[in-house]
Structures are given as structure tokens and as C-alpha cells.
Amino acid sequence: MRVQSVEKAFRVLGAFDAMRPSLSLTQLAAAIELDKSATQRFAHTLTMLGYLSKDPTTKRFALTVKTLDLGYRFIRTNALVERARPYLLHISNTTEETVNLTVLDGAEVVFVSRMAGRHVINADIVVGMRSPAYCSAPGIAMLARLPPEEAVAILDSTERHPITPNTVWRMDGLRDKLRLTAARGYATAFEEMHHGDLSVAAAIVDAHGRPIGAINIATLRSRTTPEAAEQTYMPMVVDAARAISRS
């Protein structure tokens, strides 16, 4: 029933990453574990379709700008992104901090929209970024809206480890965090993923109360305290998430 050549084509595209931005045919074949002639057919097809380029001199393949099209299409067709935009904009203007819209994909949160604060360097490359859910405020905010056994199963499906001394990563700690988050309706993560990073998040839910996204405000310890961040930003994310959930 499944079309195997489609899976292989996506394996070819998935072989490129920051460590391997370009690949020769031999490297590509090794990376996807296909023989060279099959790899050649897929690479050729993807080059014809415009998703790969082949350097005429080095004969190395690389991803092209056309790979941006699909994701751009998704962002433009996503109702949640549309609905959330005015709220993100309002919070961003009010706070001058970074505001993100994320969704849960397995055990990861994916950034689908962002208004960057005034202090952010890589404002431009964040849409599509993924983070582990267990140590991020939006991840915990969304997981806390699932039935506890479902949230635990998701957390159990992924490798967890302490990223900073503050990371809550053992299941006991995470269960407590989920209970607290469910009870009070918002999540915090203070320096759990990066040094100095403070984040406050609330989940957006569908008509059945299931999480469909989260909104979070991120600031830095150099500008405020965890207590002040929680107090100031909690009402903003909670109100926005509630308004987006209803709309």
C-alpha cells in the first residue's frame, strides 16, 4: 500500500544536515543505504523537481531554496498560526520580549510562529526549530493538558537527560511538574535548556480540551528574575491561550 520510492526520496532529502550540507553521490548512497544507481535515480529526480542542486564542478548535491516552499505552504494554511498572530503581536509589542507559538509533535515542540524580542540574534531561523518537550515550558504546558498516562507515555518514548543543572528530566519530577501545571494552568521553565533562559507558557486547546499548541514568552535572567517573569507573563500567556482556544 505504501509507495516505497516516496519514502526513499524523503530519505535522500533527510540525509543533508548542518554537519553534511553537501554530499557526493557516494556519500549520499552510504547515508541512505541504497546502491549508487538507485541513489542516482532519486537524486536526479529530486534535482529535476528542484529540491536538490548539483554543483557542476564538484558534483556534490545540496538542498535548494525550494525546500522552503512546503513549510511556507503549511504556515500559510495553518488556522492556528492565523488565529494566534494578533495575540503574539500584542504581547510582543507590550513586553518587547520574544513570543512563540509552538505545537507538539511527538515528544518535541516545533516553533511555528515567533515574534522576536529586541534582544534576539537569530530571529530569522526559528520557525521549524524543534526542542525536547520535557524541558521546555510550552512542552510541559501542552503535555499537562493530556490524560496523565498519555503524557507519561510520550515522555517515556524519548531520551531524557539533564541539559543544565536545572533540567527536570526524571519521571518523578516530570509527573509533579505536569500535576502542578494542570492545576494552575500554565508552565514555567527556568534555565532548563539554556543558561539564563526564562520561559512562561500556556496551552491552547481544542473544543475537547486537547492541546493544539502553546504560547510562551521567553526572557533572560539578565533582565529579570524567575519570580518577576512568572508574575508578569503568566496572566498574558494564560489570557492569550484562552482567547485563541475559544476563537
Closest distance between a copy of itself and the C-beta of residue 116, in Å? 7
Residue 30, all three cell numbers: 552510504
- Phi/psi for 232 (5° steps) reads -75, -45
How far lies 189's CA from each of 57, 196, 202, 218, 226, in Å?
A: 49, 11, 12, 9, 9
Between CA 184 and CA 206 the distance in angstroms is: 19
Q: Which of residues 14-33 bind a copy of itself (CB under 8 A)?
A: 14, 16-18, 20-22
Residue number with CB closer to a copy of itself (170 or 210): 210
* Residue 183 interacting with a copy of itself (CB under 8 A): no
Q: Which stretch binds a copy of itself (CB under 8 A): 42-50, 175-183, 222-230, 232-240?
A: 42-50
Residue 203, all three cell numbers: 496551552
Q: Choose which of 25, 27, 44, 163 interacts with a copy of itself (CB under 8 A).
A: 44
CA 202 to chain centre: 15
Q: Which stretch binds a copy of itself (CB under 8 A): 83-91, 138-146, 173-181, 235-243?
A: 83-91
Between CA 166 and CA 65 the distance in angstroms is: 38
* Residue 2 interacting with a copy of itself (CB under 8 A): yes
Q: Choose which of 25, 31, 62, 243 interacts with a copy of itself (CB under 8 A).
A: 62
Closest distance between a copy of itself and the C-beta of residue 48, in Å? 6
Between CA 131 and CA 165 the distance in angstroms is: 18
**What does DSSP assign to residue 104?**
E
Q: Choose which of 25, 30, 60, 64 interacts with a copy of itself (CB under 8 A).
A: 64
Between CA 152 and CA 154 the distance in angstroms is: 5
Residue 52, all three cell numbers: 536538490
Residues at the site binding a copy of itself, with contacts judged by CB under 8 A: 1-3, 5-7, 9-10, 13-14, 16-18, 20-22, 41-42, 44-46, 48-49, 51, 62-79, 81, 85, 88-89, 103, 105, 110, 112-116, 121-125, 127-129
